[in-house]
Amino acid sequence: MNCHEFESGLDVLLTGPIGPKTRAALEHHAGTCASCSDLLALARLPNQEPDDFTTGVLNRTSGAACRQAEESLPDFAANVVLPEGDQELLAEHLEHCRTCSGLVRELERLAADLPRLSIVQPEISLLADVLRRTLPVPVRLRRWWTATWPQSVRRPRFASELAFAATLVIVVIFGSPVSPLQAMPERAFEMVRTESFEQLEHFEVLRAAAREAIGARLQATVDSGTQSVQSLAAASRSKIGTILEEIASWFENAEDEPPAKANPTTEETS
């Protein structure tokens, strides 16, 4: 280290923070060089003694002014103009207070450094996970629905697709353990074995089963079901032929004659 380097390092030595290596190098030079050791002694004089004196007075009177100074440091560091007078007093305090002037330097540095932290690339890109989670089923289904519903009605395969959906609905209605209609196909089958086949063709059996299984309070369900199945049947007639049509006509019949009110409660629970 030469004298020039010592001089440029002097400020750090006096105001810190300073690394042990740097400190050792500076002190070593001051120990071996008379002019630099004088410089160091001089540099330490004006900074320390008045501060100590003022601090002594402050300690016996108002206490250190740093607490008040600190409140304005962030604005001061960001070059926000403080109220008249405050600015000058704070600048004067900073000339003498290493803690506060160090904080100002740190605040300035942070203001420059912090925006860099706004972007942190994850070690493994999130992209694959995000795409897996955003593009599959629920969202994609909704997107598909809003995008294709208007055109799909005109598509050639639409009817059979709709028929498939309708079949699902029917499975749910009749197959669900909570559905009150669950018992109906079984009862119908029972009746088919005992009654004549001709009756089956005319859906008398189904209607009878419906009367037994469906209570009056299910009328509303039947009504809405009738409407939807009717329209489904109309759409699917060409594609799946008779099955849905038959079910639809059964619903039509069921609608024509409201289900009998005889003993509905005893049958529902079975």
Partner 1 sequence: MPELRQQESTGSGPASLLPNIFDYSDLIARCRRGDDLAWEALVRRLEGRVYAIALHYLRDREEARDAAQDIFVRLYQKLHTVRDDKPFLAWVMKISRNLCVDRLRRLSVRTPAHSVPLEDAPEPTVRLPSPEESCLNSARDRLVYHALGTLSERNREIILLKDIQELKLVEIADMMSAPLGTIKSRWNRARLELAKAVRRLEPSEEAAL
Sign of CA dihedral 41, 47, 50, 52: negative
| Shortest distance (Å) from residue 21 CB to Zn ion | 18
Residue 10 interacts with which of partner 1, Zn ion, none, CB < 5 to 8 Å by class:
none
Alpha helices in 61-183 (DSSP H): 66-77, 86-96, 98-113, 127-134, 137-152, 158-175
Selected from 64, 102, 167, 253, the binder of partner 1 by CB under 8 A is 102
Place of tokens 């290493």: 98
In whole angstroms, give the CA distance from residue 98 to residue 102.
Answer: 6
> Which is nearer to partner 1, 52 or 129 (by Cβ)?
129
User: Going by C-beta distance under 8 Å and a sequence separation of 6 or more, which residues neighbour residue 7?
Assistant: 36, 39
Stretch in the footprint of partner 1 (CB under 8 A) among 28-36, 111-119, 177-185, 222-230: 111-119
Separation in Å, CA 269 to CA 174, 181, 189, 212: 14, 10, 18, 12
Q: Map residues 20-49 to x or -, x wherever contact with Zn ion holds by CB under 5 A.
A: -------------x--x-------------
Q: Does 81 participate in binding partner 1 (rule CB under 8 A)?
A: no
Using CA atoms, how far apart are residues 260 and 270, in angstroms rounded to an integer? 18
Q: Is 133 in the site for partner 1 (CB under 8 A)?
A: yes
Residues that bind Zn ion (CB under 5 A): 3, 33, 36, 66, 69, 97, 100
Residues that bind partner 1 (CB under 8 A): 5, 8-9, 12, 16-22, 70-71, 73-75, 102-103, 106-107, 110-111, 113-123, 125-127, 129-131, 133-135, 139, 143, 147
